[in-house]
Structure 1
Amino acid sequence: MIVRIGYNTPAAVPDPDGLTALVLGLEREGFDSLWVSERATGPSADPVVALTYAAALTTRIKLGMSVMTLPGRRPALVAKELASLDRLARGRLLPAFGLGLRNAGEQQAFGVRREERAAIFEEALPLLRRFWAEDEVTHQGAHFQYDALRVLPKPAKRGFDVWMGGAADVELRRTGRLSDGWLAAFVTPAEGERGRLLVQQAAAEAGREVEEEHFGAVVPYRRGPLPPEVESRLTRSRAVRGPAPLDEVVPDLDGLESHLKRLVEAGLSKFVLAPLAPPADWDTELAETRDAVLHLQTVR
């Protein structure tokens, strides 16, 4: 199994010096990728903007969303936006999509009611694939209508391996039916294994296959005890799956190696490390993380 280790940008107000240090450090130290989460009502930068900035600074690391909300966006415009970024990044983009956070503010920002999100998503994602692969797209659906629409440019490889997030059983089954990979978040190794098996089962039932190396997880880690606001955020993120021991979800740096090994045993192999707070010095942070876990990565 090929193990790859990347980094997620912290949930904080965009800092150009910090982001520059992070992306250059990832490239220098041999990490696999940079990922940016999306929250319209949070302080973090928009993922496409942040990844475009990172693409201009780097030549090797891959660039992914963890994950980008699809309901509330027009598929033709998303297709052009991401294909343009992929071209400028010389084919390094890794799109990952989700329904959006279970949050009234997020749903208001995207203009989509919670009960509408799944149906919109299931119509929009296949349309993205068609826009990236086909010269013209004609489609008459419940939410989108196109008549011989041409969208250019195409991605560098005229398509992407599209990943999806999600934690509930219905989301995992949708991932098996529609996606090329699953990116979990805040999961224990046991939950990661169960989710992988459910995705694979749903894919098989749909006559598809998700490659065994296309299962990954955003892995938050901590330095010392959790601050109260982070503990509250963690509790909200665990709402679907229920409580779990802290070290099973958010290990400290000393326990990160053994935690990743257990996730590998569960069948996951792409990891996106996520410090709970921006470090004071990214060079030191990445050097210490490199020494702690990067030997687990099989491709550098």
Structure 2
Amino acid sequence: MIVRIGFNSPGGPTDLASLVLGLEREGFDSLWVSERATGPGPDPVVALTYAAALTSRIKLGTSVMTLPGRRPALVAKEMASLDNLSNGRLLPAFGLGLRNVGEQQAFGVRREERAAIFEEALPLLRRFWAEDEVTHHGDHFHYDNLRVLPKPAKRGFDVWMGGASDAVLRRTGRLSDGWLAAFTTPAEGERGRVLIQQAAAEAGREIEEEHFGAVVPYRRGLDPQLETRFARARAVRGPAPIDDVMPTLENLETHLKRLIEAGLSKFVLVPLAPPLDWDTELAEVRDAVLSLQTRR
């Protein structure tokens, strides 16, 4: 199994520059940017374009980008443009969007509409990336002989999805090429992987065994504020031991090994406390876990 380890981005441009240059220098695999329209972090496409200009090797991923509320033709052009500018380094991952009233207002999509829009939009993205012209008349989108350029470097992407509910996991098996879990225990990660593989088989598809990963938050201690954040993050899936979801840096290697045993192999690390110095932070994480990453 090929193991890859990357990092999720911080909020501001100064921190982002320090992080991406450090990731490239230390040998980490990738940078990932989350999306929250109502949060302080940058737009994922803007942040990844900035990171692409500073680097030449690390891969660039969205973790994850909301699809309902965006026009597929414009998303297709945006993703292909960034992929070409970065010499084929983009790793797009999409989701329905956060369970948050503000986010739903920002994207202009009611919660009950999101799944149907997503299921129509994602196949359209694949068509825009691969076909010269697209004609489509569905419930939400209509196109007649529409040509979208440029095409991605490889005329398509391995598209990953996020999410944790059984319905989302089954949709991932039917539509995606990979899964990026978040705030998951090793047992939940294994269960999700198996359910996705079953759904893919039922749809006559196959997802590569190395296309399962997780966003992994880590900490350097515990305080009441962190416990509150943890409880909110687990509100949908229910209680779990905090060490099963948010290990300390000292236990991060053991935690990643458990996730690898569960069949996950792509990891996006997130320090729960913003580092004072990214050079020091990345050096310490490198020493703690980068030996797990498969040599290129």
Bucket of the pairwise TM-score, normalised by the shorter protein: over 0.9
Q: Find the aligned partners of 1:41 and 1:235 in 2 and give their Cα distance.
A: 21
Query: Counterpart in 2 of 1:250?
Result: 246
Give the Å deviation of 1:227: 4.9
Unaligned 5+ runs, structure 1: none
1:77-96 to structure 2, matched below 5 A, reads 77-96=74-93
Q: CA deviation at 1:17?
A: 2.1
What is the identity percentage for the equivalent residue pairs of Structure 1 and Structure 2? 83
Select the residue among 281, 284, 288 that pairs with 1:292.
288
Is the 2:34–2:44 Cα contact (8 Å) retained in structure 1? yes
Matched positions, count:
296
Shift of 1:42: 0.6
Deviation at 1:74, TM superposition (A): 0.2
| Aligned residue in 1 for 2:15 | 18
Compared CA separation, residues 227 and 82, structure 1 to 2 (3 A): farther
1:259 alignment partner in structure 2: 255
1:34 to 31, 48, 51: 31
Partner of 2:126: 129
Residue 241 in structure 1 maps to residue 225 in structure 2: no
Give the residue type in structure 2 aligned to 1:5. Answer: I
Distance in 2, matches of 1:167 and 1:250, equals: 17
Q: Is the CA contact (8 Å cut-off) linking 1:167 and 1:240 kept in structure 2?
A: no
2:4 maps to 4
Structure-2 separation of matches of 1:226 and 1:149: 54
Letter in 2 for 1:292: A
Residue 104 in structure 1 maps to residue 111 in structure 2: no
SS state of the match for residue 176, structure 1?
A: helix
Q: Quote the residue 1:211 is aligned against.
A: 208
- The alpha carbon displacement at 1:299 in A equals 2.8
Q: Distance in 2 between matches of 1:152 and 1:109?
A: 27
Contact 2:230 2:242 in 1 (8 A): no
- Does the 8 Å CA contact 1:72/1:111 hold for their aligned counterparts? yes
What's the counterpart of residue 273 of structure 1? 269
Residues in 1 aligned to 2:215 and 2:31: alpha-carbon distance in whole angstroms: 11
Question: Within 5 Å, which residues of 2 pair with 1:147-186?
Answer: 147-186=144-183
SS in 2 for 1:44: coil
**What is the RMSD of the two structures over their aligned residues, measured on CA atoms?**
0.8
Compute the displacement of 1:276 (Å).
0.9
